Amino acid sequence: MSVVGIIPAAGAGERLGAEVPKAFAVLGGRPMVEWSLDVLREVCDRVIVAVPPNRVEPPDFVAGGATRSESVRNALDAAPEATIAVVHDAARPLVTVELVRRCLDALEGVDGVIAAVRVTDTVKEVEDSLVVHTPDRGRLWAAQTPQVFRAEALRATVGEATDDASLVEAMGGRVRVIEGIRENIKVTTPLDARVAEMLLAH
């Protein structure tokens, strides 16, 4: 069994609006991606980071693609030995070793495991400013990363999506949801960066 960590870190971070690509913006005193690297390195045999093409110097940094899905594929292609893939966004610096381990422990009998938290807002589906559907909140979970997969299931996926699990689901794969941690927020906007700074300080 060979567990490879994959960190998509090749995004521009347009919504954050920093001077550098988001994963390299300093958060809590270090480039954001380093928080996730430390955690994944503790759990995985090897960690591959997909980065913007001009930042591929360190070993195990590979060039990302134009989309997140492409970046994940480039990283996975660099680890043909992998039997299990742990995908975790550089944009979630508050991940913990404990959360990654719980995902791995839940992989028995399924193709993938994702961390997610129950949605607290009521979610509306809207078209042209009109509500067309209000799904039952009791069944809704907000997907996070880490997302852990049998590598062969992830390798078989095609197309683009905002997370990897949806591609595995589209192939008919079984994906289990486990309770994530609320602190594991995604840094998308400047407000998120402020919140993450506060959480990282504790």
Write out the residues near ligand CTP by the rule CB under 6 A: 8-15, 22-23, 50, 64-68, 71, 89-91, 186, 188
Handedness of CA 64, 66, 69, 70 (dihedral sign): negative
Contact yes or no for 55/25 (Cβ under 8 A):
no
Least distance to ligand CTP from the beta carbon of 23, Å? 5
Which C-beta is closer to ligand CTP: that of 49 or that of 113?
A: 49
**165 touches, from ligand CTP, Mg ion, none (C-beta below 5 to 8 Å by class):** none
Please give the Cα distance from 166 to 13 (Å, whole number). 22
Minimum distance from residue 165 beta carbon to ligand CTP (Å) = 14
Residue nearest to Mg ion (CB): 11
Measured from the CB atom, is 25 or 43 closer to Mg ion? 25
CA atoms lying within 13 Å on the CB side of residue 121: 4
C-alpha to C-alpha distances, 29 to 32, 95, 111, 156, 201, nearest whole angstrom: 9, 17, 37, 38, 10
Q: Nearest-CB residue to ligand CTP? A: 11
Residue 160 C-beta: closest distance to ligand CTP, Å:
10
Q: Which does 22 bind (CB under 5 to 8 A by kind): Mg ion, ligand CTP, none?
A: ligand CTP
- The entry of Mg ion, ligand CTP, none that residue 8 binds, CB within 5 to 8 Å by partner kind: ligand CTP
> In angstroms, what is the minimal distance from the CB of 41 to ligand CTP?
17
In sequence order, the β-bridge partners of residue 170 are none
Cβ distance to Mg ion smaller for residue 71 or 157: 71
Q: Minimum Å distance from CB 80 to ligand CTP? A: 20
Largest CA distance in the chain: 50
The answer to whether 87 touches 53, Cβ cutoff 8 Å, is: no
Q: 């999506």: which residue's tokens?
A: 161
